[in-house]
Amino acid sequence: MYLIAGLGNPGKEYEKTRHNAGFGAIDALAEKLGISVEEKKYKGLFGKGRIGAEPVILLKPQTYMNLSGESVRAAADFYKIDPEHMIVIYDDIDLEVGRLRLRAKGSAGGHNGIKNIIAHMGTQEFPRVRIGVGAKPDRMDLADYVLGRFSQVEQSQMEDGYKEAAEAAAAIVEEGIEAAMNRFNRKK
């Protein structure tokens, strides 16, 4: 079984913000798979389904970004999911808008949601799909930037990015992280 968690902040005021890129990708994956992600459990919203023959849990933590690990850990513990079968999708300011970067493991790279998951899981050894939200403009506060919304053009690019991130997560489940990295970590 796989746990696919998309990170973001709950509430209307955070919808479609840069920090909610993980939620956007989970929504795209849920739509692609015909899964409802509305059941409340594990400090999040979740749904169950399948990617190919593999059972999957889709999770949108509702703990706010900085406490994402509480929700991810609760779901991983309940379903006894090993970290290598846990895929985390989240925003990245170091990538162009809508661009993906897959990794098998690694540090938090300054992302507080990932820091919290690493702290709660006790490991950095889990696959992740980073979705670019563009670089922060000079002299702008990072929190203001990631909690800001996309321009119309960027929103269109993000919709494509969410769909591609959903495909990437499915590829990790069906083909493994190495094959998925080879396919999705290419220059556009």
Catalytic residue numbers? 19
**Distance in angstroms (rounded) separating the CA atoms of residues 140 and 178:** 36
Q: Is 96 left (phi over 0), alpha (psi -120 to 50) or beta?
A: beta
**Distance in angstroms (rounded) separating the CA atoms of residues 136 and 144:** 9
Q: Are 81 and 75 in contact (CB under 8 A)?
A: yes
Nearest one of 35, 120, 40 to 72, comparing CA atoms = 120
